[in-house]
Amino acid sequence: MRRVRSAVFALLTLAAAPAAAGGWYVQAFVGANFADDIEFDVDAGAIETSLDDGYVWSIGGGYRFKYFRLDGELDTPRETDVDVHRLNGVDQAGSRGDVQSEAGMGNIVYDFNKDKRVSPYVGAGIGWAEIELTDFGTDENPEIVSAEDTLFAWQILAGVGIDVDEHWIVDFSLRYYATAEGDFGTAPAVGGQRIEVDYSAVSLTVGLRYNF
């Protein structure tokens, strides 16, 4: 996780570049996280894992330029429980486990309606994520995989900011977040092979920004 935090600090330092007009801000948000299914192959066949809905929250900050914002954020673990593991399309009894994704992201955001009370925006970001697959198992195979990897991550976002007063902005956003494929090792009981797994999710968030 040190690698993720270092990336965030570097991006925040970059945000300090001089600008003709703008200023610093801090932000925080919380929201619902809807993770996509995870798929990988083992010796017994193809496994598809459906995940329950979860949550995400984040803190960060950055600098607003004339038309753009450049910021960094640290997302707390998007912890999501396993709904069901399917082996070759068949639900497995006693499916269990969870997935966590913790990320440090740097974003560039374009605000429409600059300096107006309601300002829609779009943006994109890149960073590093630590993905952890914990206690994946079923009644037949109590341990399928428990492993973690640090991966490249990216996201696209769109939302709207609503000015409350001179400093405070309420922020609503829709985000699509994804990682590169990670390399994980399965337990000996299911072949002890290496598998490649990526993670992606859609999040709906509400948050606050404070402009200094």
Got the DSSP string for 71-122?
EEEEEPP--EEEEEEEETTEEPTT-EEEEEEEEEEEEEEEESSTTSSEEEEE
* Report field, pTM of the whole predicted structure over 0.95: no
Q: What is the mean pLDDT of residues 116-128?
A: 95
Q: What is the mean pLDDT of residues 66-94?
A: 93
Q: Is the pLDDT of residue 180 over 50?
A: yes
Chain centroid, CA 119 distance in Å: 24
Are 200 and 176 contacting, i.e. CB atoms less than 8 angstroms apart?
yes
Q: CA dist 179 to 23, 45, 154, 172, 210, Å?
A: 31, 24, 6, 23, 29
pLDDT attached to residue 166: 87
Assign domain 2-211 one CATH number from 2.40.160.20, 2.30.30.30, 3.30.2350.10, 3.50.4.10: 2.40.160.20
pLDDT attached to residue 13: 52
pLDDT attached to residue 16: 45
pLDDT attached to residue 43: 83
Q: What are phi and psi of 19, to 5 degrees?
A: -140, 155
Q: What is the mean pLDDT of residues 133-149?
A: 92
Gap between the Cα atoms of 54 and 33, Å rounded: 5
Lowest-pLDDT choice from 12-21, 48-57, 64-73, 127-136: 12-21
Q: What is the mean pLDDT of residues 42-47?
A: 88
Are 26 and 60 contacting, i.e. CB atoms less than 8 angstroms apart?
yes
Residue at 142: amino acid letter: P
Q: Quickly state the pLDDT bin for 69 (edges 50, 70, 90).
A: very high
Q: Is the pLDDT of residue 113 over 70?
A: yes
Q: Quickly state the pLDDT bin for 182 (edges 50, 70, 90).
A: very high
More confident residue, 197 or 7: 197
Q: What are phi and psi of 143, to 5 degrees?
A: -130, 115
pLDDT attached to residue 2: 56
